[in-house]
Amino acid sequence: MTIYLGAVTVSDRAFKGAYQDLGGPAIADWFSKALVTKYTLISRLVPDEQDQIEAVLKELSQTCSLILTTGGTGPALRDVTPEATLAVADKVLDGFGEQMRQISLKYVPTAILSRQVGVIRGRCLIVNLPGQPKSINETLGELFAAIPYCIELIGGPILETNPEVVKAFRPPKK
In sequence order, what are the beta bridge partners of 128? 69
Strands ordered across the beta sheet of 4-10: 40-46, 4-10, 64-70, 124-129, 118-121, 91-92
Q: Is residue 21 part of a domain?
A: yes
For residue 110, is it within any domain? yes
What is the reported pLDDT for 1? 76
Residue 143's pLDDT band, with cuts at 50, 70 and 90, is very high
Strand-pairing partners, residue 70, are 9, 129
Tens-digit pLDDT profile for residues 26-68: 999 999 999 999 999 999 999 999 999 999 999 999 999 999 9
Residue 173 has pLDDT above 90, yes or no: no
Count of domains forming the chain: 1
Say if residues 67 and 6 touch (Cβ distance below 8 Å): yes
Structural domain includes residue 164: no
Beta strands in 11-140 (DSSP E): 40-46, 64-70, 91-92, 118-121, 124-129
Backbone angles phi, psi at 7, to 5 degrees: -130, 120
- By C-alpha distance, which of 108, 99, 161 is closest to 127? 99
In a domain, 168, yes or no: no
Tell whether pTM > 0.85: yes
Question: What's 126's domain CATH number?
Answer: 3.40.980.10
The residue range of the domain holding 56 is: 4-153
Q: Tens digit of pLDDT for each residue in 88-136?
A: 999 999 999 999 999 999 999 999 999 999 999 999 999 999 999 999 9
Tell whether 160 is covered by a domain: no
Residue 162 lies in a domain: no
Tell whether 161 is covered by a domain.
no
Examine residue 171 and state whether it is found in any structural domain, yes or no. no
